[in-house]
């Protein structure tokens, strides 16, 4: 019960890593406010988790790129659950294209969700953490925080920004007892990755080859690291970026040879 009685916001909780995190956080004793832009996804997550761990998950439909909605999410969490201890800022989107091909509105969408969403959760969440003497923020970054890939210029830019935002927030708010870390997944079996893994010829084979462990990751494996970073087991860990990529970023020379 690493998160017993902790109140946690998890964004992007309607599917993938966020849904797996909601289940794992609940199993560790947390009370969760699950947020996602998809009301249907949120209901499915809450129904699935609460069926096994009753009353563990409340929901709040939220567009994390909208300041008023994020402010409401935080106030609703405190109103309904009493406090705020942990934020798992996991919501993210992918848009493909080079800077020439990517439409400007999609560039703005990428930064709105992937970067501004993290900023807004910190902006409205940190004052509530101060009231309880500290807290933990975990952010989903990416292997693309370290390495760029072709035809996803905007996505790579956002994930580089997220890593630096993690470090800046950790420096600013460490003296207040607020730790900020990020997780950098590689290829994970999520709805975001499935179009490549299942629809691109040899996509899954390629994703398996570039990781020294020889496979894609599972959302539950990312959620396990999020639990660690949110818990007191990581009480001396801040400003860190944890690779959960099967060794992909360590073996980029091999990965590039396979392209």
* Residue-level pLDDT at 227: 98
Q: Which of 100-109, 134-143, 203-212, 221-230 has the lowest mean pLDDT?
A: 203-212
Q: Which residues pair with 58 in a beta bridge?
A: 33
Residue with tokens 């998950």: 57
Q: What is the pTM of this model?
A: 0.94
Where in the sequence numbering do the catalytic residues fall? 155
* Percentage of the residues of the chain whose pLDDT score is greater than 70: 96
Count of beta carbons in the 10 Å neighbourhood of residue 80: 12
Query: Measured on CA atoms in the order 232, 233, 236, 237, is the torsion positive or negative?
Result: negative
How would you label 132-170 residue by residue, b for 16+ Cβ within 10 Å and e otherwise?
eeebbbbbbbbbbbbbeeeebbbbbbbbbbbbebbbebb
Sorted by where each starts, the structural domains of the chain and their CATH numbers stand as 7-192+218-247 (3.40.50.720)
pLDDT 10s digits, 122-165: 999 999 999 999 999 999 999 999 988 889 999 999 999 999 99
Q: Which residues pair with 86 in a beta bridge?
A: 8, 136
Q: Please, are residues 251 and 46 in contact by the beta-carbon 8 Å criterion?
A: no
Q: In what order do the strands lie in the sheet with 241-244?
A: 57-61, 31-36, 7-11, 86-89, 135-140, 178-185, 241-244
- The rounded distance, in Å, linking the Cα atoms of 65 and 70 is 8
Burial of 239 (0-12, 13-18, 19+ CB in 10 A): middle
Higher pLDDT, 33 or 217: 33
* Residue-level pLDDT at 254: 59
Residue with tokens 């975001």: 192
Tokens of 32: 């969760």
Question: With 80 as the cut, is the pLDDT of residue 194 above it?
Answer: no
pLDDT 10s digits, 65-85: 999 999 999 999 999 999 999
Span 51-64, average pLDDT:
97
Angle at 239 (CA atoms; ends 59, 215), nearest 5 degrees: 70
């Amino acid at each position: 019960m690493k998160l017993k009685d902790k109140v946690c916001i998890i964004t992007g909780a309607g599917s993938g890593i966020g849904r797996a995190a909601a289940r794992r956080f609940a199993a560790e004793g947390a009370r969760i406010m699950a947020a996602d832009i998809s009301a249907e996804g949120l209901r499915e997550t809450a129904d699935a988790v609460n069926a096994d761990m009753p009353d563990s998950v409340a929901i709040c439909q939220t567009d994390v790129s909208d300041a008023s909605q994020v402010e409401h999410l935080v106030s609703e969490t405190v109103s309904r659950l009493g406090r705020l201890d942990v934020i798992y800022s996991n919501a993210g989107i992918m848009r493909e294209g080079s800077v020439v091909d990517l439409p400007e509105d999609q560039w703005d969408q990428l930064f709105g969700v992937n970067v501004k969403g993290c900023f807004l959760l910190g902006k409205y969440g940190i004052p509530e953490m101060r009231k309880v003497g500290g807290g933990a923020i975990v952010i989903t970054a990416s292997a693309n925080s370290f390495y760029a890939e072709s035809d996803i210029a905007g996505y790579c830019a956002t994930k580089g920004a997220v890593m630096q935002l993690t470090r800046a927030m950790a420096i600013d708010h460490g003296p207040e007892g607020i730790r900020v870390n990020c997780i950098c997944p590689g290829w994970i079996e999520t709805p975001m990755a499935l179009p490549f893994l299942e629809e691109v010829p040899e996509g899954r084979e390629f994703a398996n080859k570039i990781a020294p462990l020889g496979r894609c990751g599972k959302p539950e494996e990312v959620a396990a690291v999020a639990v660690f970073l949110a818990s007191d087991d990581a009480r001396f860990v801040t400003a860190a970026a944890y690779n959960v990529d099967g060794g992909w970023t360590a073996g980029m020379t091999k990965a590039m040879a396979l392209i």
